[in-house]
Structure 1
Amino acid sequence: MQGSQQQQAYDRGITIFSPDGRLYQVEYAREAVKRGTASIGVRTSEGVVLAVDKRIRSPLMERSSVEKIHKADDHIGIASAGHVADARQLIDYARQHAQINQLRYGEAVGVETLTKEVTDYIQQYTQVGGARPFGVALIIAGVEDGVPRLYETDPSGTPYEWQALAIGADRNDIRSYLEDHYEAEMSLDEGVTLALAALASVNDDALSPESIGVATIAVDDPVLTELSEAEKTTYLEDEGLLADDEDDEESDAEEDGDEDDE
């Protein structure tokens, strides 16, 4: 009984480490990330790719209202997985810092610099009483001095740089697919194809253009560009990943979860 009470004390206290060095609230925040639909980032020699699962829980919901890819600056995009409201707070913070950097120094903010500013902000919420960690993970992608960069933020406030990664639901399965098929010197088009194939690998090898979002940032023209429905359809058709409308509706109807997660 006494052991159970001690466990609850560490469980409730965000500023208290457990005897084995764990912060339980941070671990719970990571679980919240796993409830969100998947987001994928791929770094290629020609730029970076962001791909997200935008499946919705009801046919009555406007698909355009489901936002999972955001522009932090012209050359930086952010994809999220986890609690929607938490993601919007961090994305707004990233946008503000990008604008402050432009006004203060007269130049665009670096991808690494912006990522570390965001993770420093996240980390503050792991050691302040009366607050909770952000229940969201972000993929921050962009081009810095002609070099593609790809980062992940963790609810603990730790930044990681990747060649390819996945966050959200089915993260481990998608990562395994990326590890098996990723090549560092692939083109931007090949990066899009890989990201879509990885997403399809956990969706019965079938996707609809309405249920996904894809954006790229090319080294030659470092501006975040989202693919149109027609462009996504072309990629899916070329790879044999295009789902029938009826199959997509069935998968949406069967999908359940917390509508506050994305």
Structure 2
Amino acid sequence: MRGDDRQAYDRGSNIFSPDGRLYQVEYAREAVKRGSASVGVRVEEGVVLAATRRVRSPLLEPRSVEKLHAIDEHHGVASAGHVADARQLVDVARRSAQIERLRYGQPIATEELTTEVSRHIQEYTQSGGARPFGAALLVGGFVEGEARLFETDPSGTPYEWRATAIGGGSDGIRERLKERYDPEMGLDDAVALARDVLSEEDDVEEEFIAVAVIDDDGYRAVDGAAGADSDAE
């Protein structure tokens, strides 16, 4: 009696199936889709990152659910998927930014930062005894007057976007972004767009949506109710 032949490939993150698939990477992508959604919108003035905080209990403080992370004053990250995996990748990004600053005395370029994180992710798709990261990131940056927005996925492949979404319901959110995104819009309009497409997906209340902006003034959180800068960490 033979078991399911696919199980052998399921258990190995560095073993290709006969049809050229890495099942562990595909499962990691499914883990991202089961996470709450995050959105990134790039405009000329900067980048907006927004994320839904999934609160599983009324006793849980929504602000304790971290989906947005400052990397340095020029970069921020929004995550979807396993929170612990995302935190490890955020640490990789922060170290890369610090090394660039200490070595060259200048901020790391957003594309280079994304490449460093993607390289780290990709190593876990070909190493024995390790599993791929079950998290995806949106990396936004504003360096030398230029706004950039990238996505990393569990395969270690980076993509650059004008506007996109990751996590649960991302396909529907991207469709709404495609209909409403305007590259000429201002930063305030981009913040409103990010909030709208997230709230429409799962009818999320405003307090459960975290928003951050990266522009010429650096990375900062945005208050949900008033739309003003927040003093919260």
TM over 0.5: yes
What is the aligned-residue identity percentage? Answer: 59
For 1:197 and 1:61, locate their aligned partners in 2 and report how far apart those are by CA, in whole Å: 24
Identify if the C-alpha distance between structure 1 residues 181 and 229 changes in structure 2 by more than 3 Å, giving closer, same or farther. Answer: closer
How many residues end up aligned between the 2 structures? 228
Q: Give runs of aligned pairs for residues 73-222 of structure 1, distance below 5 A.
A: 73-204=72-203, 207-218=204-215, 220-221=216-217
For 1:57 and 1:5, locate their aligned partners in 2 and report how far apart those are by CA, in whole Å: 36
Q: Tell whether the 8 Å contact from 2:24 to 2:131 is kept in structure 1 after alignment.
A: yes
TM superposition outliers: structure 1 runs of 4+ over 3 Å: none
Deviation at 1:208, TM superposition (A): 2.8
TM-score by length of 2: 0.94
Could you say which structure has the larger radius of gyration?
1
Deviation at 1:166, TM superposition (A): 0.3
* Letter paired with 1:162: W
Give per-residue Cα distances to partners, 1:63-112, cap 9 Å, x unaligned: 22111100011110000000010011000111111111100111111110
* Letter paired with 1:228: D
Deviation at 1:6, TM superposition (A): 2.2
Question: What's the Cα RMSD here?
Answer: 1.3
For 1:99 and 1:129, locate their aligned partners in 2 and report how far apart those are by CA, in whole Å: 29
**Higher helix proportion:** 1
* Letter paired with 1:181: R
Q: Tell whether the 8 Å contact from 2:213 to 2:219 is kept in structure 1 after alignment.
A: yes
For 1:144 and 1:227, locate their aligned partners in 2 and report how far apart those are by CA, in whole Å: 20
For 1:209 and 1:8, locate their aligned partners in 2 and report how far apart those are by CA, in whole Å: 43
2:223 maps to 1:224 = no
- SS of 1:18 mapped into structure 2: coil
* Letter paired with 1:130: G
Give per-residue Cα distances to partners, 1:137-166, cap 9 Å, x unaligned: 000001122110000000000000000000
For 2:227 and 2:20, locate their aligned partners in 1 and report how far apart those are by CA, in whole Å: 45
For 2:88 and 2:69, locate their aligned partners in 1 and report how far apart those are by CA, in whole Å: 12
* Letter paired with 2:223: S
TM-score by length of 1: 0.84
Equivalent residue number for residue 54 of structure 1: 53
Deviation at 1:55, TM superposition (A): 2.9
